[in-house]
Amino acid sequence: MKTVTVALGARSYPIHIEAGLLARAAEYLAPLARGRTMAIVTDENVRPHLATLQAALTATGVASEAIVLPPGEKTKSWPILEQLCDRLLELGVERQDHVVALGGGVIGDLVGFACAILKRGCRFVQIPTTLLAQVDSSVGGKTAINTRAGKNLIGAFHQPAMVLIDPDVLDTLGLREVRAGYGEVVKYGLIDDFAFFEWCEGHAGALFAGEAEARVHAIAHAVAAKARIVAADEHETAGIRALLNLGHTFGHALEAEAGFSDRLLHGEGVAAGCALAFRYSARLGLCSGQEAMRVAAHMRASGLPDGLAAAGIAASGETLVAHMRHDKKMNAGTLPFLLARGIGQTFLDKTVDLADVAAFLDEEPR
């Protein structure tokens, strides 16, 4: 087993990573149950994993109640949040109880936000079942729902008590979902770890093929990188945690244009957004065109979109920038961008001209 700690003083928590961990999750959950029924929130796609988890809990004498929600990004909504909170209140969830979020990023974000506001805050445990959730959304305490104005605009920082990651659950994912999760894996190499980007170039195929060693290395490395950044800047006030948003400003605009649907998965939007961020950086003379091309080539080789055309986005630059104006990071009419001086040399730029971004996007192939 590999264990990474998110160091937040009294609110520090462990991230356990091990193949087959789901079937043994009760070892970690039973001490948190306090002799009470444990609520598990999941979605229809995760029922097989739900059965494994509930059987493990039952075997250790822990009762559980499952709340099964519809799958998909539309579940991160006001109506479903209300339904979930009402159901958790019906179950008598207390502040010291631990609700289990079993699923991908949608379930983790929704359950985390519900627990942040339920009785002014109750506890929860993340058991992510997608690669994207394992390496990104389950760690760090960002919770949210989507609105008509954009993605994740209503939310709260609310850290989990524990994260349990079983790489074996990825066997049930389709290749597209694994590749989308990989968009968040390779991001960590692009931010500040050139050696990890090189590892990704040589091992992405092994990860997609389900090789255990590649899976564990990628997950553990990504989680450790995120834990380090979160510990240094939990609430994104020092500018350090903002580095994790590489590719997201462009990517969220593409997702918004795609209607936050399966037409463009989040990790696919991030991959395209990273390639766009490097091309825009090259346009500004910050990094070489060769490095931007190298990033784009790796995205293509990994089966991920490297720009607007590959993402199926035909909207104008101004339309995409209009989506960006709803970004949570907007401040006094300006939007910080993650740009790069090279692979592994990302930095936050607060002087970017959105009109220039629109012009850049208009030059991109459709």
Quick check: helix, strand or coil at residue 295? helix
pLDDT for 121-178, tens place per residue? 999 999 999 999 999 999 999 999 998 887 888 999 999 999 999 999 999 999 999 9
DSSP string, 310-351: HHT----HHHHHHHHTT-TT-BTTB--EEEESSTT-EEEES-
Instruction: For residue 224, give both structure tokens.
Output: 């450790």
> pLDDT tens across 182-240, in order?
999 999 999 999 999 999 999 999 999 999 999 999 999 999 999 999 999 999 888 89
Catalytic residues: 120, 142, 184, 226, 236, 241, 245, 248, 252, 266
Encoded tokens for 168: 């074996």
Task: Tell me how far apart the alpha carbons of residues 53 and 191 are, in angstroms, rounded to a whole number.
Answer: 35
Check whether 333 has a pLDDT greater than 80.
no
Is residue 332's pLDDT more than 80?
A: no
The pTM of the full predicted model, rounded to 2 decimals, is 0.93
**C-alpha span between 20 and 267 (Å, rounded):** 25
**What value does the mean pLDDT take over residues 338-343?**
98
- Residues 65-89 have pLDDT tens digits of 999 999 998 999 999 999 999 999 9
Give percent above pLDDT 70 in the chain: 100
Paired sense of beta strands 150-157 and 142-147, if any: antiparallel
Residues 45-71 as b or e (16 or more Cβ within 10 Å = b): bbeebbebbbebbeeeebebebbbbeb
At 305, give phi and psi (nearest 5°).
Answer: -70, 145
Q: Confirm if 70 and 97 have CB atoms less than 8 A apart.
A: no
Q: Rg for the chain (alpha carbons), in Å?
A: 20
